[in-house]
Structure 1
Amino acid sequence: MKNTILLIVLLVSSFAFSQQIHVRYLKVLSPFTTTQEDLYIKNNQVLSVQDSVIVQNKLTGDWTMAVNLDNGRKPSKEYFVSDLNNDTEKHFFFTSSIDGREFFIYDKVPKIDWLIDEKQTKKIAGYTCYKATGVFRGTNITAYFNKDLPYSAGPFKFYGLPGLILEIRPDNMDHEIWKAESVDTDDQSKIVYKPQFLNKDKISLKEYVAAKEERMNKIFAKVTNSIPSGMKAQVKNNQRFTVEQKYEWEYESY
């Protein structure tokens, strides 16, 4: 009898993981704008795609100024490629662009030391989710995950909880917020989980961060120089407006 029950559990589990799940998140990209991110999971493979279309913020009704930060270029889609695992770190490959130049970057992301509070729950996209808190690259974050969706994954580079993350946000920021709008547990889309990015320059995460901050510093300097005399404005170099505030090699330098 016990063997029969175990076999049924294994068959159900195998069927669940053979199906493709699709989660669409609303991402608050900045205080002014939102965009969408689509997460796909099948057979231990994970692909998250952040849309290139900047949509009107549903909270403020405003449009972003950020579209023009890259000389008016339309932002391109960003891909985050990984696998499901229970390791202490996860290997991500992701794409991004700086000043019109396309990059393909490798990132080894440490597992967050999550603190779960099952007394704190909320409904997201029809699922009951439990609260978890942790620190991700220097930022205190709060997540809500669902145990009935048995995937240790989430949007962007988040993972490590005993269920799928349906909402995540920094504790002291009004942007870099992800919240699931819909969940399809039997998605039929044809997804390439290991896309080839042969036309993109391959660089390390450290090189990418340095190039990105050099570009932003030039933008801030240009904005500061355009401010009329008599008005005070101070912008610090290497300010990070993302959830990733401090990287592993920066901790090692102390």
Structure 2
Amino acid sequence: MRSYFLFSLLLCSVFAVQAQKLHAVYEYIPSGATAFREHVYAENGVKIVVRDSVPLARDTSTNDLEQDPGSIFGLSLDMGKNFRRVVIQKNDNKEILETLSLEGVNYLVNDRFPDLTWNTNYSSTDTLGKYVCHKATASYRGTTLIAYYTNSIPVPVGPYKFGGLPGLIVMLYNESANPNYWMLKEIGYPYTGDIPIQESYVYALPKLTLQEYIRKYETISEEKKRILESKFPADEVVIEEKTKARGTVEQVYEWEQKNVDK
């Protein structure tokens, strides 16, 4: 009888943790001089990420997690608009929905997210801010992710599309010449506020798969590059071999990897 009671108590505790809403605020750093605020909301197996496109004014003299993000890739933005990038992820569904903008048009992009296999076999710990963190690594779309998570907040979520660890991700970056960083700045747990998105607007956007969006984006980028090069004298134009190196956390997508393997 006592064993049954303890098991029931443990089960109730697990359900209570899962039912609590979390709100985490990250600083997303795609370059040494640029940063964006990224809000992560999690409740009942659903994670919603909201990232502003207007960059923060960065104070490089202080850093809450005492980490140097280094010199990383800069983004070219339309500074006149505040487009809120939204990611919707459900734990029981591999498909992730993400709002992306291209040529002034907003799209709802379907990303069939690959399985992340985290290696948590690291014995050492690091203190980031006030959190004791454990290290984890995973291969992801042509790069390696390095994450530091804390067991003191037992919610398996993190920034952008990442999660699945025993606790909240406090810091995450990818191994690259131009790494992207996410650093936890604020936490509300449990959180009782609302999630600031209009679902009716998000789900009404024109739909694309991630592969369709990337192809459309790269076609437009190549055309802009061609037009720019046409304005220079022929002897000043240097033809470079096209590579798939990117300044984002995604370096090589699944359909590109299949072409490489053939």
- TM-score class, shorter-chain normalisation, is 0.7 to 0.9
Deviation, 1:125, is: 4.7
Task: In structure 1, list runs of 5 or more residues that go unmatched.
Answer: none
Change beyond 3 A, Cα 1:40–1:203: same
Q: Aligned with 2:94: secondary structure?
A: strand
Matched ranges for 1:1-254 at <5 A: 1-59=2-60, 66-68=76-78, 73-85=80-92, 90-191=94-195, 195-196=199-200, 197-221=202-226, 237=242, 239-253=245-259, 254=261
Give the Cα–Cα distance (whole angstroms) in 2 for the partners of residues 29 and 214 of structure 1: 23
Give the Cα–Cα distance (whole angstroms) in 1 for the partners of residues 137 and 188 of structure 2: 26
Give the Cα–Cα distance (whole angstroms) in 1 for the partners of residues 75 and 151 of structure 2: 38
Contact 2:31-2:75 at 8 Å conserved across structures? no
Give the Cα–Cα distance (whole angstroms) in 2 for the partners of residues 30 and 225 of structure 1: 29
Aligned alpha-carbon RMSD (Å): 2.9
Give the Cα–Cα distance (whole angstroms) in 2 for the partners of residues 32 and 230 of structure 1: 34
Aligned-residue sequence identity (percent) comes to 24
Give the Cα–Cα distance (whole angstroms) in 2 for the partners of residues 193 and 73 of structure 1: 20
Q: Aligned with 1:52: secondary structure?
A: coil
TM-score by length of 1: 0.84
Opposite residue 30 of structure 2, the aligned amino acid is L
Deviation, 1:219, is: 4.2
Contact 2:178-2:247 at 8 Å conserved across structures? no
Change beyond 3 A, Cα 1:192–1:244: same
State the aligned residue count. 246
Deviation, 1:22, is: 0.7
Give the Cα–Cα distance (whole angstroms) in 1 for the partners of residues 155 and 36 of structure 2: 23
Summarize deviations over 1:35-87 as a string: whole Å, max 9, x none. 011111111111111112211233399xx77225xxx55251111101235xx
Give the Cα–Cα distance (whole angstroms) in 1 for the partners of residues 179 and 239 of structure 2: 21
TM-score by length of 2: 0.81
Change beyond 3 A, Cα 1:243–1:116: same
Give the Cα–Cα distance (whole angstroms) in 1 for the partners of residues 231 and 33 of structure 2: 22
Give the Cα–Cα distance (whole angstroms) in 1 for the partners of residues 61 and 34 of structure 2: 9
